Amino acid sequence: MNVAIMGFGVVGSGVAEVLKNNAAVIEKKCGVSLRLSHILDIRTFPGSPFAPYMTRDVNDILNDADTDIVVETMGGTEPAFTFVSACLNAGKHVVTSNKELVAKKGYQLLELAKKNGVNFFFEAAVGGGIPIIRPLSRCLAGNNITRVAGILNGTTNFILTKMIVEQMDFAAALRLAQQNGYAEKDPTADVEGIDACRKICILASLAFGSHVYPDGIFTEGISALTLDDVAAAEALGCVIKLIAQTRRLENGKISVLVSPALIKKTHLLSGISDVFNACLITGDAVGDVIMVGRGAGKEATASAVVGDIIDCVDHSSARKTFGWGDAVPGLVEDIDAVPAAFLVRAETSGKDSDTAALAAALPGCTMLDSDGSTLLFVTPSLPQGKIKAALNAASLRVRSMLRFFEES
Amino acid sequence: MNVAIMGFGVVGSGVAEVLKNNAAVIEKKCGVSLRLSHILDIRTFPGSPFAPYMTRDVNDILNDADTDIVVETMGGTEPAFTFVSACLNAGKHVVTSNKELVAKKGYQLLELAKKNGVNFFFEAAVGGGIPIIRPLSRCLAGNNITRVAGILNGTTNFILTKMIVEQMDFAAALRLAQQNGYAEKDPTADVEGIDACRKICILASLAFGSHVYPDGIFTEGISALTLDDVAAAEALGCVIKLIAQTRRLENGKISVLVSPALIKKTHLLSGISDVFNACLITGDAVGDVIMVGRGAGKEATASAVVGDIIDCVDHSSARKTFGWGDAVPGLVEDIDAVPAAFLVRAETSGKDSDTAALAAALPGCTMLDSDGSTLLFVTPSLPQGKIKAALNAASLRVRSMLRFFEES
């Protein structure tokens, strides 16, 4: 069977190499040999062993009746969306690692795949090489999924690990991540939680069966975190991780959010360090299941793409039942109505009056530190909007608010 | 589609309940509704809501043309093997949670399934509800798998956790496990590593493509472990876990073994406590991936069975490519040729002469304690047979030998 690759960047070239280097094991697993047919890229790669496959014209792929499977590793929404749509309409299976494309256009592309009787798979879009999509959609299919929560961005986890373990401040840790190639020159999508948001939207769509779009999802990054926050977490026996999470709420809606969160050191997620990712899935039958591994990197991500290619081969005649439905307006609960407990740091000039005002506006807080110019306290678990309103009513100058991760 | 269950014990009744309670989510995931048709058991269950489905005659299932999928949760080799074979020959898909059956008869049953164009799935046989079989066989299919290692038995992990955290001795921890329903009255299969051995044989078969039978696999349980061992591990910054592992060796053979092992506290597997299981898979492309969850229990195991049932529905017309080949004689390396470093405790009466004899017979050991009547030392990593021969040559009275877990 013939496979074309669109986008010869880090992941695309990794896919080409895994297909070549592991040809024997792949043929053994899927019963047919996979041959590379075309690689689409606007750049040229003279001297590359893959140079003979290169093309700049997507029609070379679309019009090649012998190319059954197309891998999209271009990234971004366009022209990826146009090209992937054309491939699906041409009756080709598509495998992508492009989380932005799936988060923004997943439902449309899944419908297009269904209409054309082909598969559209994207295991590599979340957690790199860690199996998450297939376990969630298939192994745990007998469960009512109640929650998905994870450390889904390796760059921020590396930065936080440096802040926690080596007391580096955010700026220094970011520079180190950039030097190591873990962070881009413009690190916004990683450090502001945008990348993690796309991934949790994909997982929420799969877990709850309706497309969840990233627009409007509460997304807080790690760029405002300080070593004071790290120390306050430590004093509570916690570490700070960037957690992307979604949960079925009692009112039937779902919460979807990305934010730094305080995790007790006794919880397994607290031990996921450096560029590693982890995804916790809770189902009513299975309880908690956690998958851990490298969430990015050329070979790891390529590994997931190749797993999907093999699944396409196995479902080349009978399409696999996989996907989700259209977005349901109002399904995602307003962040202000989502309950959580917070660690709050506020400035104070008159601590007695401020603590009295806090006690009146928000009963049940636990004061950790009221020395000097700072109040440090833990709130009860309440809808976030109520907590913010109470802190406002108490006229506190809030410096930081850190959500506690709910273990169950 | 109709589903029959053979064996209405803990797992079988859990499957019936999950099918009933989660009918809506299952129908949404697999596109068809699943109806229970028969439950085979020699016992009667008067008053059970499932009483109308009960039968004592396997022919009621075999002759029912409307029953497409059969779940086997009887346990043991017979009559499970006879019944499962008959179901496959009758053109029915079979899903089992029976690790003994798969470890001992997997190749035969997979061949029978292939011959009859049906599926034989067993996600629940390893790690209960934790997705392991499908990720290993499908998501990581593009990898050359180099190692699988795991905490695959919850009973022994519970006992070891009590020994490590609460300093209970083995006998007391076993009694507590029995009181909590985690250990059987006859705990042999769990505490002597037999259960873990069956599971690692299944994973080795899948990872390396040839059936690995449990007979002759080196299997060491935890019943001989003492609180002295736990303390010695602690002094080295380690904990003791029962590890089942298989690895591709440099000579092309594979190692397969079950034994207690010393794991550094910095490694994620060291933090897997109580009845939780974890499975570490290493692939040449993906690196290390770890799956964690409850490895047993009614609902968790039923969850995995139902996931497999849904996969059968999706592959009811076109059989899924899945399985392994016949056993390859000589594939499993002799345990004496498998290298490892050990923590050794030996009795001594003359410590100077004994340490001199040790240094002569086994150079490169690190002495940790040579006070009193005990020598405690760490060996270099060498083939196990060479280490045993050297300890023998040094005439040491070895009291215990604990293998170090190799992190990579």
- The per-residue pLDDT for range B238-247, each reduced to its tens digit, is 999 999 999 9
Residue A330 covered by a domain: no
Residue A194 covered by a domain: yes
Q: What pLDDT does residue B290 have?
A: 97
- Separation in Å, CA A245 to CA A66, A97, A332: 42, 21, 12
Interface contacts (A, B; CB < 8 Å): 200
Helix axes B154-166, B227-235, angle to 10 degrees: 70
Interchain pair A321, B306: CB under 8 A? no
- Write out the DSSP string of A48-84: -TTGGGEES-THHHHT-TTEEEEEE---SSTTHHHHH
Residues B19 and B54 in one domain: yes
Min distance A206 CA to chain B CA atoms (Å): 10
- Catalytic residue (one of A92, A104, A105, A199): A199
Residues B281 and B148 in one domain: yes
Out of A314, A349, A368, pick the residue that ends a domain: A314
d(CA A139, CA A157): 27
Interchain pair A293, B311: CB under 8 A? no
Interchain pair A283, B303: CB under 8 A? yes
Q: What pLDDT does residue B383 have?
A: 97
Interchain pair B142, A26: CB under 8 A? yes
Q: What is the CATH number of the domain that holds B271?
A: 3.30.360.10
Residue given tokens 């991540």 in the structure block: A177
pLDDT tens string A230-239: 999 999 999 9
Mean pLDDT (whole number) for A97-110? 98
Residues B148 and B43 in one domain: no
Q: What pLDDT does residue B348 have?
A: 87
Interchain pair B286, A304: CB under 8 A? yes
Q: With bands split at pLDDT 50, 70 and 90, how would you rate the model's confidence at A359?
A: very high
Interchain pair B18, A142: CB under 8 A? yes
Residues B251 and B145 in one domain: yes
To test the contact with chain B by mutation, choose from A114, A126, A143, A165 the residue with the greatest count of B C-beta atoms within 10 A, namely: A143
d(CA A4, CA A12): 10
Q: What pLDDT does residue A373 have?
A: 86
Residues A117 and A205 in one domain: no
Residues A254 and A108 in one domain: no
Residues A207 and A255 in one domain: yes
Q: With bands split at pLDDT 50, 70 and 90, how would you rate the model's confidence at A349?
A: confident
Tokens matching residue B379: 């060996």
Q: What is the CATH number of the domain that holds B53?
A: 3.40.50.720
Residue B331 covered by a domain: no
pLDDT tens string A177-213: 999 999 999 999 999 999 999 999 999 999 999 999 9
Interchain pair A289, B291: CB under 8 A? yes
d(CA A377, CA A343): 6
d(CA A160, CA B384): 41
The answer to whether residue B371 scores a pLDDT higher than 80 is no
Domain span at A72: 2-129+299-314
The answer to whether residue A380 scores a pLDDT higher than 90 is yes
Task: From chain B, pick out residues whose CB is under 8 angstroms from the CB of A304.
Answer: 139, 286
d(CA A70, CA A78): 16
Of A59, A53, A58, whose CA–CA distance to A38 is shortest?
Answer: A53
Taking a C-beta distance cutoff of 8 angstroms, is the pair A8, A39 a contact?
yes
Q: With bands split at pLDDT 50, 70 and 90, how would you rate the model's confidence at A25?
A: confident
Residues B122 and B169 in one domain: no
Task: From chain A, pick out residues whose CB is under 8 angstroms from the CB of B30.
Answer: 141, 321
Residue B319 covered by a domain: no
Task: From chain A, pick out residues whose CB is under 8 angstroms from the CB of B290.
Answer: 290-293
Residue B85 burial (10 A CB sphere; 0-12, 13-18, 19+): middle
- Separation in Å, CA B191 to CA A25, B61, B151, B156, B220: 36, 36, 13, 6, 9
Partners of residue B294 on adjacent β-strands: B276
Element (H, E) at B368: strand B366-369
Q: Which residues contact A239 (CB under 8 A, 6 or more apart)?
A: A160, A164, A233, A262, A263, A265, A270
Q: What is the DSSP letter of B271?
A: G
Phi and psi for A47 in degrees, rounded to 5? Answer: 90, -15
Residue B328 covered by a domain: no
Closest residue of chain A to B279, computed from CA coordinates: A291
Instruction: Please tell me the total number of residues recorded for chain A in this structure.
Output: 408
Q: What pLDDT does residue B31 have?
A: 84
Handedness of CA A202, B302, B290, B320 (dihedral sign): negative
Of A246, A328, A250, whose CA–CA distance to A282 is shortest?
Answer: A246
d(CA B277, CA B288): 16
Task: Considering only CA atoms, give the Rg of chain B.
Answer: 23
Residues B166 and B72 in one domain: no
For residue B383, the tally of other CB atoms under 10 A from its CB is 16
Taking a C-beta distance cutoff of 8 angstroms, is the pair A277, A295 a contact?
yes
Tokens matching residue B281: 């898979």
Q: Any catalytic annotation for residue A199?
A: yes
Min distance A248 CA to chain B CA atoms (Å): 14
For residue A347, the tally of other CB atoms under 10 A from its CB is 13
d(CA A376, CA A386): 18
Residue A319 covered by a domain: no
Residues B154 and B75 in one domain: no
Residue B165 covered by a domain: yes
Task: State pTM to two decimals.
Answer: 0.95
Taking a C-beta distance cutoff of 8 angstroms, is the pair B14, B298 a contact?
yes
Mean pLDDT (whole number) for B17-31? 89
Out of B314, B347, B376, pick the residue that ends a domain: B314
Q: What is the CATH number of the domain that holds A355?
A: 3.30.70.1150
- Catalytic residue (one of B199, B265, B320, B386): B199
Mean pLDDT (whole number) for B6-25? 94
Average pLDDT, chain A: 95
Question: What total number of domains does chain A contain?
Answer: 3
Q: Which residues contact B118 (CB under 8 A, 6 or more apart)?
A: B88, B91, B92, B93, B94, B319
Write the single-letter amino acid at A325.
G
Instruction: Count how many Cα atoms sit within 13 Å of the Cα of residue A300 in the half-sphere of its side chain.
Output: 23
Residues A98 and A216 in one domain: no
Out of A314, A345, A379, pick the residue that ends a domain: A314
For residue A39, the tally of other CB atoms under 10 A from its CB is 27
Interchain pair A293, B309: CB under 8 A? no
Q: With bands split at pLDDT 50, 70 and 90, how would you rate the model's confidence at B7?
A: very high
Partners of residue A401 on adjacent β-strands: A344
Q: What pLDDT does residue A217 have?
A: 98
ipTM associated with this complex: 0.93
d(CA A149, CA A217): 15
Tokens matching residue A192: 């502001």
To test the contact with chain A by mutation, choose from B13, B18, B136, B143 the residue with the greatest count of A C-beta atoms within 10 A, namely: B143
Closest residue of chain A to B137, computed from CA coordinates: A29
Q: What pLDDT does residue B96 have?
A: 98
For residue A12, the tally of other CB atoms under 10 A from its CB is 26
To test the contact with chain A by mutation, choose from B32, B134, B139, B268 the residue with the greatest count of A C-beta atoms within 10 A, namely: B139
Q: What is the DSSP letter of B378?
A: E
Interchain pair B290, A287: CB under 8 A? no
Task: From chain A, pick out residues whose CB is under 8 angstroms from the CB of B286.
Answer: 129-130, 293-294, 299-300, 303-304
Q: What pLDDT does residue A350 have?
A: 76
The answer to whether residue A340 scores a pLDDT higher than 90 is yes
Min distance B314 CA to chain A CA atoms (Å): 7
Residue A23 covered by a domain: yes
Mean pLDDT (whole number) for A244-251? 97
Q: With bands split at pLDDT 50, 70 and 90, how would you rate the model's confidence at B76?
A: very high
Residues B22 and B124 in one domain: yes
